[in-house]
Amino acid sequence: MFALSLSGILTLIPVLAVVVILLALVLIGYVKAPPDQAYIISGLKKESKVLIGRAGIRVPFFERLDKLYLGQMTVDIKTGQSVPTNDFINVNVDAVAKVRISPDPDGIKLAAKNFLNKKASDITTDLQDSLQGNMREIIGTLSLKEINTDRDSFSDQVMQKASRDMDKLGIEILSCNIQNVTDENGLIRDLGADNTAMIKKNASIAKAQADRDVAIAQAEADKAANDARVLADTQIAQKNTELEITRAELKITSDTKKAEADAAYTIQEQEQQKSIETARVNAQIAKAERDAELKKQEVEIAKQKLDADIRAQADAERYRMEQEAQADLFKRQKEAEAKRYEEEQAAEAMKKAAEAAKFAKEQEAAGIAAVGRAEAEAIQAKALAEAEGIDRKAEAMKKYGEAAIVEMIMEALPQIAKNVAEPLSKVDKITMYGEGNSAKLLSDIVNGTTQVTEGLTAGMGIDLKALLAGIIGGKMAESDPPAPTVINITAPDVKCEPPAEEEPDPVL
């Protein structure tokens, strides 16, 4: 039983939650409109719901609530500036209108488009300009006398005129009262004074007539009455004349005022026409100035465009010339590098050729020395008795080896000098200034050759200068050289002969 009660409670919880939520939504959405306001609920339905003096429900978050004031509102209507009447008299009129928003559905719908959520003071401010304009229009159709003598008709015309505009806004005019009418020149006050004087004048005349009637009654009946009648008629005629004169004077004054008003209107119209003509001339001048400025801007733009085109062409031409110059410089650099590379390769080839020739000469000299040593060992082994001959043979072979080396070097010297001077052969023309420059050139070639011989001395250990000096000194010492001795050495397949005596080098 406890389990059933617990399950029932669990089942009721969602239902209670839904009920609570619905009650909360109803409380939140419950609205009540007062009698002087219209609550407009819109959102879910196509047509808005209007509440006036009753309650309703608004769906929260899906519908919105707007308010529209329906109470009576007072609008002060003042002309602000003087308005000319039908007889061209400038007047100022103060009036008060009682208005409200029309309670019918069409009026509320129109008013909701213009005055929704606005206060009464804001609504009256919006209506004031329209009502003032309507009253100014009615003043222009009435004369000063009509406005003062028949104010009810004037207010009715204002209400009738303004109602057409107010109906478009959903506004209903309840009443319109004229409070005060004034003019700039005090004509209304003057008209009152004239009427007052006329009334006083009539009262005086009536009193005089009464007094006269009493005097006549006291006089003789017929004569006195007749005289009194004649006198009265005469006085009446005089008074009538005076009255006509007064009326004429008043008419002259009125005509003068009217003429002045007409002249002022004409002057004002001429001033306005003058202002219009001045504005038109100024507009034409401004248009001409704008056209001139536009032409100036067009010329400036064309000038800038031409300048840009010329500058672009000049930049392109300069860029082309720079690229051609760079290409020509690159070509000449590559040609110079290729030429230098060819010269270096040729020098390297000559160097390798010289090294090969040197190696061949060294191998040849080594072979000759080896053969000499083999022959010497054979002679020493086979003929100890012929030691003296062997010594001479060895001395001859020694001399032969030095001569061969000298001959090899002397044959290589022209080639070395040629290789040293070869770079100069690639020069088309050499211009020398000053004395001794040709000797300087020859000195450079000789120095180059000397550097090569010194390199041989450092690399091979052969002092070429000392060797040549020794040979030349020996030849000079042997002024009468002995005849060469031929030594026959019997050895298997070996035959040695002393070298032929060399003639001294005429250059050395």
Secondary structure, 3-state, 299-350 = HHHHHHHHHHHHHHHHHHHHHHHHHHHHHHHHHHHHHHHHHHHHHHHHHHHH
Task: Count Cα neighbours of 326 within 13 Å in the Cβ-side half-sphere.
Answer: 6
Q: What's the pLDDT at 490?
A: 35
**Hey, what's the torsion of the CAs at 275, 277, 283, 287, to 10 degrees?**
-160
Q: Provide CB contacts within 8 A for 499, sequence distance 6+.
A: 396, 399, 400, 403
Q: Please state, as a whole number, how many other Cβ atoms lie within 10 Å of the Cβ of residue 151.
A: 16
Reported pTM: 0.35
Q: Are 65 and 41 in contact (CB under 8 A)?
A: yes
Q: H-helix or E-strand containing 430? A: none
pLDDT of residue 442: 59
Distance CA 134, CA 156 (A): 12
Residue type at 6? L
> Given this model, what pLDDT does residue 469 score?
65
CB 31 within 8 A of CB 58: yes
Q: What is the pLDDT of residue 408?
A: 62
What is the 3-state secondary structure of 446-472?
Answer: HHHHHHHHHHHHHHHCCCHHHHHHHHH
The residues pairing with 98 across neighbouring beta strands, listed in sequence order, are: 74, 175
- Taking the C-alpha atoms of residue 101 and residue 73, their distance in angstroms, rounded to an integer, is 9
405 exposed, middle or buried (CB, 10 Å; 0-12, 13-18, 19+)? Answer: middle
Nearest CA among 76, 90, 97, 189 for reference residue 140 = 90
- Amino acid 88: pLDDT: 84
118: its two tokens: 């606005």
Q: What single letter denotes the amino acid at residue 56? A: G
pLDDT at residue 475 in the model: 55
What is the residue-level pLDDT of the chain in tens, covering all 508 positions? 444 466 667 777 777 777 787 777 777 778 888 888 888 888 877 788 888 888 888 888 788 888 889 888 999 988 878 888 888 888 888 899 999 998 888 888 888 888 888 888 888 988 888 888 888 888 888 888 888 878 888 888 888 888 888 888 889 998 888 888 888 777 777 666 666 667 767 777 877 777 777 777 777 777 778 888 888 888 899 889 989 899 898 989 888 888 888 888 888 888 888 888 888 888 889 888 888 888 888 888 888 888 888 888 888 888 888 888 888 888 888 888 888 888 888 888 888 888 888 887 777 777 665 665 666 566 556 656 555 655 665 565 455 555 555 566 666 666 666 665 666 566 555 555 554 555 665 566 566 666 666 666 665 556 666 666 666 565 555 544 444 433 333 333 434 344 444 444 433 2
Q: Which helix (H) or strand (E) holds 479?
A: none
* All domains in the chain, ordered by first residue: 2-67 (no CATH), 71-184 (3.30.479.30), 383-422+440-508 (no CATH)
Please name every residue paired with 49 in a beta bridge, in sequence order, or none if there are none: 41
Model pLDDT, residue 455:
64
pLDDT of residue 275: 84
Three-state DSSP state, 497: coil
Please tell me what DSSP assigns to residue 57: E
Token pair for residue 121? Answer: 């003071």
Taking only the tens place, the pLDDT of each residue in 320-349 is: 888 888 888 888 888 888 888 888 888 888
User: DSSP letters along 227-275, please?
Assistant: HHHHHHHHHHHHHHHHHHHHHHHHHHHHHHHHHHHHHHHHHHHHHHHHH
Strand-pairing partners, residue 177, are 96
Interior CA angle at 467 toward 463 and 470, to 5°?
A: 140
Those residues whose C-beta lies under 8 Å from the C-beta of residue 182, and which sit 6 or more positions away, are: 91, 92, 188
Residues composing the chain: 508
Other Cβ atoms within 10 Å of 259 Cβ, number: 10
pLDDT digits (tens, 9 = 90+) for 445-474: 566 666 666 666 665 556 666 666 666 565
